[in-house]
Amino acid sequence: MPSNTSARGTNDAPPLPEPLRVPVADSHTHLDMQSGTVEDALAKAAAVGVSAVVQVGCDLAGSRWAAKTAAAYDAVHATVALHPNEAPRIVHGDPDGWSRQGARQPGGDTALDDALAEIDRLAALAQVKGVGETGLDYFRTGPEGKAAQERSFRAHIEIAKRHGKALVIHDRDAHGDVLRILKEEGAPERTVFHCYSGDAAMAEVCARSGYFMSFAGNMTFKNAQPLRDALAVAPAELVLVETDAPFLTPAPYRGRPNAPYLIPVTLRAMAAVRGVEVDALAEAVAANTARAFDF
């Protein structure tokens, strides 16, 4: 869940793109952070060939909401987790940031253990298809938060493996440590690098390990050539597409609100980078997403 920092554009929602002929799923979105109703978001998505969404939890309240929403809508699948930046806040008793828990809570390792126990409980639910987004974020959290992030990440890996769920990774400025911890702990059978942020060399490492790489709208940005290089070498059977909405709106709508219905914009840009037909890429991505999240 990176920040959409561009000030370009307006607050107006982009128009609906031309529908895809082969339906795909948005492998990572945050409906609870978007304007409008769930019904409206799903209807717009379906109108352009986005048949399902993976609703991602980032804290306890968001994870509970994801599980509840996935139980209510067939087109919504949930993941649950404490975002990497949430773990240090829990340890230090800081309710700001992703947390929507209200008054300051007592911090410490026990508080983190309690929060992880709730994620474990939610991960057992049938409508919860993954554990994440978890991982490491060295961009927003400094050295003082690394220990809490790593402890939380390792716990999420264990939860995902024990419940047989996909692991959804948030990796920001922490490639080496993320890959190291996955190797040390033993990655789950299905591991997804959400909003893939590595280069082509890292994509080859992920490919050898069988990790899925999910590309978001930032691969369309002018300064994102390393992402396009990675996409070009990623095996077709390991590529996913996502919005990370409301963040990372693809060009030419950067700076405007993102939503699942904009998946076709990113997918068409991805097809151009890979030099393949849009329908062929959509077929591969649809199969990959279903395999990654078991739906």
What is the reported pTM?
Answer: 0.93
- Decide: helix, strand or coil at residue 129: strand
- Residue 79 confidence (pLDDT): 99
The CA-atom distances, in angstroms, between 129 and each of 54, 191, 287, 291 are 8, 12, 15, 11
Q: With b meaning 16 or more CB within 10 Å and e meaning fewer, what string describes 15-52?
A: eebeebebbbbbbbbbbbbbeeebeebbebbbebbbbb
pLDDT band at 46; cut points 50, 70, 90: very high
- Residue 11 confidence (pLDDT): 79
Q: Which amino acid is at 273?
A: V
pLDDT digits (tens, 9 = 90+) for 65-101: 999 999 999 999 999 999 999 999 999 886 444 444 4
pLDDT band at 1; cut points 50, 70, 90: low
Q: Please list the residues that pair with 167 across neighbouring strands.
A: 131, 191
pLDDT band at 109; cut points 50, 70, 90: confident
CATH fold for domain 31-267+280-293: TIM Barrel (3.20.20)
Reply yes or no on whether the pLDDT at 288 is more than 80. yes
pLDDT digits (tens, 9 = 90+) for 158-206: 999 999 999 999 999 999 999 999 999 999 999 999 999 999 999 999 9
